Amino acid sequence: MASKSSIDYEAIPITALNCSFRKKLGLYLNPTNAVAADWRTVAEMMDFTYLEIKNFENREYPFEKVLKEWETRPEATVENLLSILKKAERKDVISDLKDMIDDDCRKYLERQQRKPVQVPVVDSCGPRTQEREGITLYDDPQGLTPETFDAFICYCKSDFQFVHEMIKELEQTKYNLKLCVFDRDVLPGTCVWTIASELIEKRCKRMVVVISDDYLDSDACDFQTKFALSLCPGTHSKRLIPVVYKTMEKPFPSILRFLTICDYTRPSTQVWFWTRLAKALSLP
């Protein structure tokens, strides 16, 4: 069991903190306080915009919603939450809730230690379920040599024309990249959510997210994006690359604001667009 002094808070994602802690933290920060910093100050320090904070005000328990949105970001670790509370001069909150934080962190570490070790040799003997046998067009039907890709393309149906252009520019040129396009590469008759998770986590080095107004209304895109973000908690990974190819009327998704965007809407930078994207996808 980890002692209090040995806990590495930076290595522990905010998702390790349980509901009881979140509710207690909300009791400290939700009330509007004219003296001490409340949830608005903390949300601003978490890099939420003014409009996002105004939107959170409509919620009954605003800080719980803020924390839920923030936890999808790579920087959402216990260490960074404690740092933000210190900068907001809410050391009283840290002092009162420190025992709860440490208990949740120790439980998280214990759960991690109890997880079974995945032995590659055993895992490569063959697929454990029929779901993983030949899920893409050029898979080995026995699952012994699964097809891999440079990037998984997250998109909604209305943006498929741009995906076609992406295929032409990145696969059929000197870049010679291999993209995973769900409608083209995945065999029919498989569970969408299971296969998307398998491809994003184990078959693709990166994920390109094609952002548009319709993307914001897509349950599939929402799942794929949040799943990919959950694979690298507490790290500044280059796994996700957001792409904007046309002007949007709706706000840009807050969970991706911390990532550098490939913007196709600016005529002055279009000449570099495909080169930048291809270079990002070619990194090891």
- Residue 159 shares a structural domain with residue 101: no
Q: C-alpha angle with apex 87: 37 to 238, nearest 5 degrees? A: 115
Instruction: Evaluate whether residue 156 is within a structural domain.
Output: yes
- Residue 98 shares a structural domain with residue 200: no
Coil, helix or strand at residue 180: strand
Give 3-state DSSP helix, strand, coil % of the chain, rounded to 5: 50, 10, 40
CATH code, domain carrying 269: 3.40.50.10140
Instruction: Evaluate whether residue 274 is within a structural domain.
Output: yes
- Residue 98 shares a structural domain with residue 164: no
CATH code, domain carrying 96: 1.10.533.10
Q: Residue 266: what residue type?
A: R
Alpha-carbon distance 122 to 127, whole Å? 10
Instruction: Evaluate whether residue 131 is within a structural domain.
Output: no
Which of 113, 141, 168 finishes a domain? Answer: 113
Instruction: Evaluate whether residue 165 is within a structural domain.
Output: yes
Q: How far apart are the first and last CA of the chain?
A: 36
Give pLDDT tens digits for 133-156: 578 888 876 666 889 999 999 999
Instruction: Evaluate whether residue 133 is within a structural domain.
Output: no
- Residue 171 shares a structural domain with residue 86: no
- Residue 84 shares a structural domain with residue 158: no
The residue segments making up the domain with residue 239 are 149-282
- Residue 81 shares a structural domain with residue 167: no
- Residue 200 shares a structural domain with residue 91: no
Give pLDDT tens digits for 40-84: 999 999 998 888 888 888 888 888 888 888 887 888 899 999 999
- Residue 102 shares a structural domain with residue 165: no
- Residue 171 shares a structural domain with residue 273: yes
Smallest CA-to-CA distance from 210 within 255, 276, 261 is with 261
The mean pLDDT of the chain is: 85
Give pLDDT tens digits for 176-212: 999 999 999 998 887 888 899 999 999 999 999 999 9
Alpha-carbon distance 93 to 211, whole Å? 38
Q: Give the pLDDT confidence score for residue 196 in this predicted structure.
A: 92
| pTM, full prediction | 0.56
User: Where residue 34 falls among pLDDT bands split at 50, 70, 90?
Assistant: low
Alpha-carbon distance 174 to 162, whole Å? 19
Tell me the mean pLDDT in the region 145-168.
94
Domain count, the chain: 2
